[in-house]
Structure 1
Amino acid sequence: MEKMSMIYDALLSLHAEMVLDQALREFRLRQLYEAIDEALQYGDEATFLKLTDDLRALQNQ
């Protein structure tokens, strides 16, 4: 029975890690989109290009 408990705990831990990773990824995506919009608004081409590269890299992960 203790083995089942250990497996269950490991699965819960893995699930929690996956949920956290997804939340962090979505947060970073929102940050990038907002920063890209701001760079466009101010005409900051260098920042826009860097941020879009970052966005592509995150989307390709």
Structure 2
Amino acid sequence: MDKMKVNYEVMLGLYAEFVLDEAIRKYKEEHLYLEIDNALAIGDEHKFLQLTSELKELRS
């Protein structure tokens, strides 16, 4: 019975880690989109290319 409880706690911990990782990834992606929009608005090509590269890396 204790082994099942330990397995459950491990699985619950892994799920919590997955949810947290996904939330952080989504936050970073949204932040990058805002920064990309800002770079486009001010015409900063270098910053735009840098940020789109970061976004591509985050998505892969």
Same fold (TM over 0.5): yes
State the identity %.
47
C-alpha displacement of 1:25: 0.4
Map 1:27-46 to 2 at 5 A: 27-46=27-46
Structure 1 distance, partners of 2:13, 2:47, is: 38
Q: How many residues align?
A: 60
RMSD: 0.4
Q: Counterpart of 2:56 in structure 1: which amino acid?
A: R
TM superposition shift of 1:12: 0.3
User: What's 1:54 paired with?
Assistant: 54
Which ranges in structure 2 are unaligned for 5 or more consecutive residues? none
Q: 2:14 matched to which residue of 1?
A: 14
Q: Which runs of 4+ in 1 moved over 2 A?
A: none
User: Matches of 1:47 and 1:19 in 2, distance apart?
Assistant: 30
The separation in 2 between residues aligned to 1:10 and 1:35, in whole angstroms, is 37
**What TM-score, normalized to structure 2?**
0.98
